[in-house]
Chains A and B, each alone.
Chain A
Amino acid sequence: MTALTQLSLVQMQAGLANKEFSAVELAQAHLDAMAANRHLNAFITETPELALAQAAQVDAGTRTGPLAGIPLGIKDLFCTDGVQTTAGSLILKGFVPQYESRVSANLLRDGAVFLGKLNMDEFAMGSSNETSAYGRVISPWHAAGSNADLVPGGSSGGSAAAVAARLCAGATGTDTGGSIRQPAAFVGIVGIKPTYGRASRWGTIAFASSLDQAGPMARTVTDCAHLLTSMCGFDPLDSTSLDVPVPDFAAGLTGSMQGKRVGIPAEYRLDGMDPEIAALWDAGIAWLEAAGAQIVPISLPHTKYALPTYYIVAPAEASSNLARYDGVRYGQRVLPPGGNVQDMYAATRAAGFGKEVQRRIMIGTYVLSAGFYDAYYTQAQKVRALIARDFEAAFKRCDVLLTPTAPSPAFAFGAKADPIAMYLNDVFTVPASLAGLPAMSVPGGLSASGLPLGLQIIGRPLDEIGVLNAGLAIERAAGFTAQP
């Protein structure tokens, strides 16, 4: 029999339904895989007792739902009732939420089994998992003929590594500027960020509220669709939650692109683009064309301004959101001897936040400060409106866009020590985030060095089905079966 951890989520559903194995056996197989792969540092907190108790309820028939018995990992940005939640930060070490985030509550409602909390860049600020206060996550992949450790991408790097290494059937991620899609591409799995407002932000620790969206990461497009259906839904506790029906995303998938127009944005073909990335993009275009799509060249003229816009808007919102970590209500407190309350705030935040988080809070504080607000923040929000208009105009001429997910395969630790070099890794993912659009990454193939490469599909607002369908077409054509 195939190892249980090798099954797709859909195969696990079938196996459980046919009593080929029990939910406890399925959970135990994953807990064993987690124990054998602790060197990856994918989990910050493992919850084996909880997982086995939940699985036993499934076997007893008292825990039911479309995801009954499916073993998942939860990014440590989602508050989980009674289970430590750190956001990858020292400042939240020991924080035990007294309530469940809406997204994780939805998964529990549908019967999922939680294996533990996944490592991540601190407060989701990073593209390599090197900013986690709990140690970096190591990708299960290695370049051909090399033993050098590689980054899993970020910020959902623990989620990516765990799914790719078969430690869980799927995982939750969050995406602010590419934090689901880029790590999914780096480890050869699928990840989708839905339309802004589809998944509730309630109980998900905030980074940049106008950009943050939760989404699933899994090994197939269909597996992602099942998880997405469960995670999404209107929530009155999130003021930007969309009060629209959530379709059964998996039921709508055909993989046919007949009658669909696929836009290819000229501005994404960067000068000096890695030839392997360009070749994969061309292959993706050919695959969608073969599946029946019409290819349409389009233009998104403000693309080059997306990253600098993001690096004003996101730090500005982060500096406001992270003001809550003051050592008073939760999290760590540092009180210098003889210090007053102001000294306590400053010492707590100096000790609790890592360098990248401090840098972004400082940038955000500066661009929002008196005298600079209009020049930076207001201008960035105007450019953001222009970026969104570019997409609106493009979607008059096409149904989905196809681009690479990242400008390179996974890189080595320390390879991008300059903050701006690291920021540039999100060049293809940030524009869709600024416009709130659904976007996913699907594995397209391997680089010459044997590392996974991803293709990105961007869709119209609320057209996750169109995105997933194009993803399925690529998945079928690419036939990506490589494993770490």
Chain B
Amino acid sequence: MSVDNNIVRKIARLARIAIPEADVPGLTEQLNGILGWIEQLGEVDTSGVDPMASVMPGTLRWRADVVSDGDIQDKVLANAPDAASGFFAVPKVIE
């Protein structure tokens, strides 16, 4: 499988990365180089093999359903590029 410029533009949109149009052909070539190389995995016979779900066997633990922290609004917002009235602020979403 290989990608073309249109698929690369679509991937960039899905990944929310603004790629300048001039960079698209170069990126297509690079991604095809990498995808062509990983293609060799297709030759491995994996019939009857379950995909690895967890590298170390174990079950996910339960914890008590209780509030374990809070009252740290200042800390949560400390690194926000923009905050107002105790909230994260973003450009207007609804027209």
- Listed in ascending order, the chain A residues whose CB lies under 8 Å from chain B are 94-96, 98-99, 195-197, 210-211, 236, 239-240, 242-243, 302, 305, 308-309, 311-312, 319, 323, 326-333, 335, 339-347, 349-350, 353, 358-359, 361-363, 365-366, 369, 372, 375-376, 378-386, 388, 418-420, 434-436, 461
Q: How far is the CB of A389 from chain B (nearest CB, A)?
A: 9
Q: How far is the CB of B93 from chain A (nearest CB, A)?
A: 5
The answer to whether B40 touches A358 (Cβ under 8 A) is no
The answer to whether A347 touches B56 (Cβ under 8 A) is no
Knowing A328-B90, A329-B88, A344-B91 touch, does A305 contact B44 (C-beta < 8 A)?
yes
Knowing A308-B41, A328-B90, A333-B81 touch, does A346 contact B18 (C-beta < 8 A)?
yes
Q: How many residues of B contact A (CB 8 A)?
A: 52
Knowing A329-B79, A420-B34 touch, does A349 contact B16 (C-beta < 8 A)?
yes
- Listed in ascending order, the chain B residues whose CB lies under 8 Å from chain A are 1, 3, 7-8, 11-19, 27, 30-31, 33-35, 37-42, 44, 46, 49-56, 58, 60-61, 63, 72, 75-76, 78-82, 88, 90-93
Across-interface contacts of B76 in A (CB, < 8 A): 98, 329
Q: How far is the CB of B48 from chain A (nearest CB, A)?
A: 9
Across-interface contacts of B31 in A (CB, < 8 A): 359, 362-363, 366
Across-interface contacts of B42 in A (CB, < 8 A): 375, 379
| CA gap between A302 and B49 in the complex, in Å | 14
Knowing A308-B37, A332-B81, A382-B46 touch, does A362 contact B27 (C-beta < 8 A)?
yes
Across-interface contacts of B61 in A (CB, < 8 A): 236, 239, 243
The answer to whether B38 touches A341 (Cβ under 8 A) is no
Which residue from A309, A366, A461 sits with its C-beta under 8 Å from B56? Answer: A461
| CA gap between A184 and B13 in the complex, in Å | 38
Knowing that A349-B17, A362-B11 touch, tell me 14 more A-B residue pairs with CB under 8 angstroms: A98-B79, A330-B80, A332-B81, A349-B18, A350-B18, A359-B34, A362-B8, A366-B11, A375-B1, A379-B42, A381-B52, A381-B53, A418-B33, A419-B34
